Amino acid sequence: MLSRSLPIIAAALAVGFSGLRPVAWAQVAARSPFLPPTGASAAAPTVGAALEFRAYVDLGDGMQFRLHDPARKSGVWVRLNERNAEFDVVARQHDELQKTLTVEHQGKTLTLAMREPKVVSAGNAGAMPAPPPVPAPVPTPNVLPAVTQSVVLNPTAADEQRRLEAVAAEVARRRALREQATLQVGQGTPASPSPVVVPPVVSPKQAR
């Protein structure tokens, strides 16, 4: 008798468990912590909103959000659930994942998407001004180094003698070059020698 009833009991248990599985699985799936709660879908940003959400910062005593009014060309920092009288606005909810801020502005609920900074490429940037031209170097007079080095502020008799000797040597050198150029007949016009610059003697009164 018992052996005949065992198949019937097993079949009944199988039917019972098969009916419970979908219900239990549905409950577990509905309670999954990885799924967002029901009705928590992100709101789409408001098109043509009068305010712009620029930035946010955490200073340790709570989050603050930067709102900008393009019409006024000014902005304010606001906190959650604190009314700002200047803009007549209250920040209600911040979605860090979606980068949106829900505010109440003049009786309307607005969802503001955080404005991303614009990156200007190098091709669209304004042309850099050209650097100013470098002035041409001022030509220095053709002075013999020995003549230049012989100039002193308080010349003595010996200094004056050395200066005159340097000038005489330079004059002799230029005369020799000029005479050599005149001997080269038929080889072109001889170049005129550069003038000899004789630096003046600085007296003690001028040095002061």
For the chain of 208 residues, list the mean pLDDT of each consecutive stretch of 10: 57 55 49 54 84 91 93 93 94 94 94 78 59 66 53 72 82 84 65 55 50
Q: Is the Cα dihedral 70, 76, 80, 83 positive or negative?
A: negative
Per-residue model confidence (pLDDT) at position 165: 82
- Which phi-psi region, left, alpha or beta, contains residue 72 (left: φ > 0; alpha: ψ -120 to 50)? alpha
Per-residue model confidence (pLDDT) at position 119: 56
Give the C-alpha separation, 117 to 68, whole Å: 14
Q: Tell me if the pTM is above 0.75.
A: no
Per-residue model confidence (pLDDT) at position 202: 53
Give the C-alpha separation, 97 to 42, whole Å: 10
Give the C-alpha separation, 2 to 60, whole Å: 75
Per-residue model confidence (pLDDT) at position 25: 46
